[in-house]
Amino acid sequence: LCPSGVLSLCCRLPAWDRAIRPPPSPLQPPGLPLAPSRSFSNNKIQVELDESSGIAMMKFKSPPVNSLSLEFLTEFSISLEKLENNRACRGVIITSAVPKIFSSGLDITEMCGKSKEHYTEFWRAVQEIWLRLYGSNMVTVAAVNGSSPAGGCLVALSCDYRIMAENPKFSIGLNEAQLGIVAPFWFKDTFVNVVGHRTAERSLQLGSLHSAPEAHKLGLVDELVPEEKLMEKAAAVMAQWLALPDHARQLTKTMMRKAVLDRLVAHREEDIKNFVTFVSKESIQKSLRVYMEMLKKRKS
Ligand code: CO8
């Protein structure tokens, strides 16, 4: 069932382990009632699927900052899997229900003062969400309606298209170096694939968080729109991408992303080991604690 050449990935990703879906009829036959909207909501994520258009809206709703905790990542993974397995769903718009924040990235408390077993489980969940999102058969559009550092930026980078609210106070980037940690190779690969090697290298070394206008200039986001127009624009972009036959778009996406996905799949256990060793070091634990204290001080 796998498209040729993506076998190694298919064997690990349930969402890929099936035939490419034909698109549902774009036009509702006259006289028939509109297909229903289905929604499912758990603690941290709300999803609404409009079966008539095939478009799902996924909203992060984990205040204060939509940090990617183990619980959040698990819900995110399950939600994506549900949509991926629903033949009526062809695209998903990912956004936030928390004002001014898209996602603050990985939950730092999951990487502080915990056991090696916990770090292992957490990192596997981080890998899993990236494999699912970057490798999704659906059209994925990020409607970035707030700040989006580190892991939050990775979520946006993993989508097919990024639209950001035109607010200079919102920032986005892979700022790991500022925390004294290093973005893993697959964060870097995803970033390079969007902005190119030179921009990625400079931005990663400096741990830069770019304002929305700067991010647009660098190509980190594809479009900036006034905040009130963000969802309208995301729907318009989605309609444009969904106008194409799914199979051609999906195979093209696979062609563009397969090498990077395969690289993590091939080195998954080694990557987990590296993370656990790195994050367990006392010097790294200290950097993370200092960073968390800095966040709290900045607040007061
Ligand atoms: N994890 C856990 N808690 C967080 C995080 C986070 N990522 N971000 C913020 N918080 C907490 C704050 O400590 C604060 O807690 P409390 O209310 O108890 O004091 C609360 O959330 C609210 O935060 P702020 O007051 O700072 O909220 P603002 O609205 O003023 O600012 C921001 C929101 C811009 C998101 C700001 O909080 C911020 O910059 N946060 C830090 C974001 C960040 O640097 N994230 C990086 C995480 S690391 C990552 O994603 C990739 C790691 C790759 C692994 C590398 C291998 C080792």
Mean of pLDDT values over 68-78: 98
pLDDT at 42 over 50: yes
List, in sequence order, the alpha helices (H) in 59-106.
70-84
pLDDT of residue 94: 98
pLDDT at 39: 84
Residues 221-262 pLDDT 10s: 999 999 999 999 999 999 999 999 999 999 999 999 999 999
Instruction: For residue 175, indicate whether it is catalytic.
Output: yes
Note the pLDDT of residue 69: 98
The domain locations on the chain are: 37-229+237-299
Taking the CA of residue 171 as reference, the ligand 1 atom at the shortest distance is 34
Q: Which atom of ligand 1 is nearest to the CA of 105?
A: 50
Mean predicted lDDT score pLDDT of the chain: 90
- Beta carbon of 75 within 6 Å of any ligand 1 atom: no
What atom of ligand 1 comes closest to residue 299's alpha carbon?
A: 25
DSSP 148: E
Residue 298 in this model has a pLDDT that exceeds 90: no
Q: State yes or no: pLDDT of 30 exceeds 80.
A: no
What's the pLDDT band for 300 if we cut at 50, 70, 90? low
- Spatial strand order of the sheet with 161-165 comes to 37-41, 45-50, 55-60, 91-96, 139-144, 161-165, 223-225
Which one from 49, 73, 106, 133 is the annotated catalytic residue? 106
Residue 14 pLDDT exceeds 60: no
Question: How many helical (H) and strand (E) elements, i.e. helices and strands, does the chain have?
Answer: 11, 11
DSSP string, 19-51: PPPPPPPSSPPTTSPPPPEEEEE-SSEEEEEET
Using alpha carbons, select from 127, 128, 257, 13 the residue that is nearest to residue 2: 13
Closest CA relative to residue 227, chosen from 48, 141, 100: 100
Query: Across residues 113-127, what is the average pLDDT?
Result: 98
What is the pLDDT at residue 4? 34
pLDDT band, very low/low/confident/very high, at 113 (cuts 50, 70, 90): very high
Residue 151 annotated among the catalytic residues of the structure: yes
Give the rounded percent of residues in the chain with a pLDDT score beyond 90.
84
pLDDT class of 36 with cuts at 50, 70, 90: low
Query: How much is the pLDDT for 9?
Result: 34
Can you give the pLDDT at residue 35? Answer: 55
Res. 219 pLDDT band, cuts 50 70 90? very high
- The pLDDT, as a whole number, for residue 238 is 98
pLDDT tens sequence across 199-218: 999 999 999 999 999 999 99
Q: Give 188 Cα–ligand 1 centroid separation in angstroms.
A: 20
CATH of the structural domain 37-229+237-299, one choice from 3.90.226.10, 3.30.70.20, 1.10.730.10, 3.40.50.720: 3.90.226.10
User: Please, which residues bridge with residue 91 across strands?
Assistant: 55, 139
pTM of the model: 0.91
pLDDT at 289 over 90: yes
Share of the chain above pLDDT 70, in %: 88
Active site residue 193: no
pLDDT > 80? residue 5: no
For the ranges 28-32, 37-41, 259-263, the lowest mean pLDDT is seen at 28-32
- The pLDDT value recorded for residue 160 is 98
